[in-house]
Amino acid sequence: MNRYNPLAIEAKWQKIWEDSRAFEVDESSPKPKKFLAEMFPYPSGAGLHVGHVRNFTIVDVLARYYSQKGYNVLRPFGYDTFGLPAENYAIKTGVSPKVATDTNVSNFRNQLKKLGFAIDWSREINTSSPEYYKWTQWCFLQLYKKGLAYQKESYQWWCPVDQTVLANEQVENGHCWRCGSEVEKKKMKQWFFKITEYADELLDDVDSLDWPDKIKTMQKNWIGRSEGAEIDFGIVDSKEEITVFTTRPDTIFGATFLVLAPEHPLIKNIVTDKTKSAVEEYCKNALKKSEIERQENKEKTGVFTGSYAINPATKEKIPIWVADYVLIGYGTGAIMAVPAGDERDREFAEKFDLPIVEISKVPEKPFGTPKTTYRMRDWLISRQRYWGCPIPIAYDKDGNTHPIPEEQLPVIIPEIEDYKPDNSGRSALAKATDWLKVTIDGEEMSRETDTLDGYACSSWYLWRYASPHDSAHAWDPKKIAYWSPLDIYCGGDHAVAHLLYIRFWCKFFADEGKLPFREPITKLLYNGYINAPDGKKMSKSKGNVVDPLDVINDGYGADTLRTYEMFIGPYDQDATWNPRSVGGVYRFLNRCWTLCFETELTDTKNDNLRHRTIKKVTEDIDRASFNTAISALMEYVNELYKVGASKEDLVVLSKLLKPFAPHLASEMLEQLSANDDWPVFEEKHLTSETVQIIVQVNGKLRAKLDLPAEELDNEEKITALALKNENVKKFVTTPKKTIFVKKAKLLNIVA
């Protein structure tokens, strides 16, 4: 091969890796383990785009790096295949979700293999496979047995088109995130997981996590623990009481009115004939807004109920209002408004001309009962969907719930012809009349027709990777003890919900003696998005998606794509796809090829250069600074072109390049008859030649700086060091101008 032909090289090495099952691992290795994974994707019909590739390549770079360093590396893969897109597609086309999903998974797998990812394909999982969701159902039953999976009636977002309940984050500006139709609030009996049981531990353990600060802050805010008290306010001319939660019970003397959330159950009992119509209309409109909208609404709105409460501290009558800035899920859904001490209450009082009383005294004894409350609610997990994991519950003739016996798992999704939800709001499973019937302990019952939210399936898949085809356990105890917890997790989405849910399940199953750890993820890397060349988010509907196979098949190859994705910028920041820069990375790999295959080797001693590069690339990968690691490799190649390259120089280049461009690097290592062990730098070779910089202020010598020779091109750094020099600081503080003459090694500062 007399020229760099990435497609030929990549096909060769991908076949070698597949035939040799190069990336399959087990627990018998004497090497230390590393377990790495990305947040697994939903395999849409559109296939992968280059945004996915960035996420997956980060994991692959680290997997290959640790493998080269002598670790037993598990890098599996899976697909999050349940959900509305496949169901909506089935309703539209008649193609079953299973058939469409299998097609999409096959397409994804083909794309992933073309990218040369070091995946252990023997551990591939698919959440809609009965082999997998049998154990999702088993997990549900363990929570159910402990009272952590339960039913209650509550207001839920309802999409009248998709005929399903939506979570708060799935409602965007009052519309369904999938179909765009206007949503409504509907009171329904739903299944919940009692995540609030673990709220304190989930919050208290956040600081110990090696996660990005912004993600830890989001987790803390989502949990939102508040310490305070509950205080009862009697209602005038009524035996009822309104219980409020407040973090400042000491301000009760300044409480001049109460405010109830529009969903508060007492509202219907305290409205008067004059206010009933207005209150009902207000509550109806408030329920159309998401909680985020209600909290962010700058214009305060509200309506008077017509009733009054008694302030237990002042014994004065205070009006009871309804306002949407109060949320039913926070505290008790009622607040005592202290406009002198709270900005929102003050804005409300000023708008509606309500009293504002400055707080001149505090209670001699604490009012109320001490109480801790949380912003986080219990996790709503039931969905009125066909294409989801069936909830393993049945109902007897009296409507009582019964768990499906474990020996009857999995509850298989039945094949049906019509995927539309039935007219009662139940999922299409309700149409499978034979499937609905189930016998438990000799009694005929009816199956639950709700299915589990997809987040349930993704709350335990990291443990399934340890033993993905185990028919006796959700995860093998010995194998999970070897591999877990996960060493590095990478994702660019699901900053709060998924990460909270997987932590909740981990703590629960640790309490059940099923897991030997309480936190599932040791280190989290949260990557930024790759935006389209037009700077907008990639979207099939916008026609701006970049297909990775297009980049590969245009002749650039997978190595160019992978290396460019890591070079485009810091991994944790958004970046814009630039086709011209892809070409620049391709030229860099061409230069690597030329050095190895077309350039005569020399006996030049490049020990300092080589070991500095090893140190730089190693430390950059360790801190996930992939773009600067590639920059260091580019500089290394540039220097080798200038001074000549020995075989040892090229072996090091090949080894350092392999995590980013594994096909080309493998070809180079084969040519050089070398293994891929990660090189180790030696301190004795890290010294470098120094140069002396003359520093003048207004033409007069004021200092001399001794710097490493490689810093001679860094004018900004030289100037900064000069201005910090004590002698220079005597003559200048803020320079008007600086002039650097590289050849003369002279910096002149104009004061």
Element (H, E) at 171: strand 171-172
**Reduced DSSP (H G I as helix, E B as strand, rest coil) percent helix, strand, coil of the chain, to 5:** 40, 20, 40
Q: Is the pLDDT of residue 1 over 60?
A: no
User: In this predicted model, what pLDDT tens digit does every residue of 53-105 receive, in sequence order?
Assistant: 999 999 999 999 999 999 999 999 999 999 888 888 898 899 999 999 999 99
The pLDDT tens digits of the residues spanning 568-598 come to: 999 999 999 999 899 999 999 999 999 999 9
Within 497-574, residue ranges assigned H as helices are 497-511, 548-551, 557-567
- Phi, psi for 18 (deg, rounded to 5): -70, -45
Classified as helix, coil or strand, 135 is helix
> pLDDT exceeding 90 applies to what percent of the chain?
76
Q: Encode pLDDT of 392-445 as tens digits.
A: 999 999 999 999 999 999 999 999 998 987 767 788 999 999 999 999 999 999
CA dihedral 304, 307, 310, 311 (to 10 degrees): -10
The DSSP letter of residue 704 is E
Q: Is 205 helix (H, G, I), strand (E, B) or coil?
A: coil
Q: Can you give the pTM of this predicted structure?
A: 0.85
- Respond yes or no on whether the N-terminal peptide bond of residue 160 is cis (omega within 30° of 0): no
What structural domains does the chain harbor? 137-206+379-454 (3.40.50.620), 225-374 (3.90.740.10), 690-750 (3.10.20.590)
User: What are the tokens at 625?
Assistant: 């600074």
Burial 501-513 (b: 16+ CB within 10 A, else e): bbbbbbbbbeeee
pLDDT digits (tens, 9 = 90+) for 644-658: 999 999 999 999 999
Task: Give the integer Cα–Cα distance in Å for 606 and 604.
Answer: 6
Q: Is the pLDDT of residue 116 over 90?
A: yes
Average pLDDT, the chain: 93
Least confident interval from 17-31, 308-322, 514-528, 537-551: 537-551
Q: Which residues contact 180 (CB under 8 A, 6 or more apart)?
A: none
Quote the longest CA-to-CA distance of the chain: 102
pLDDT tens digits, 26-66: 999 999 999 999 999 999 888 888 989 999 999 999 999 99
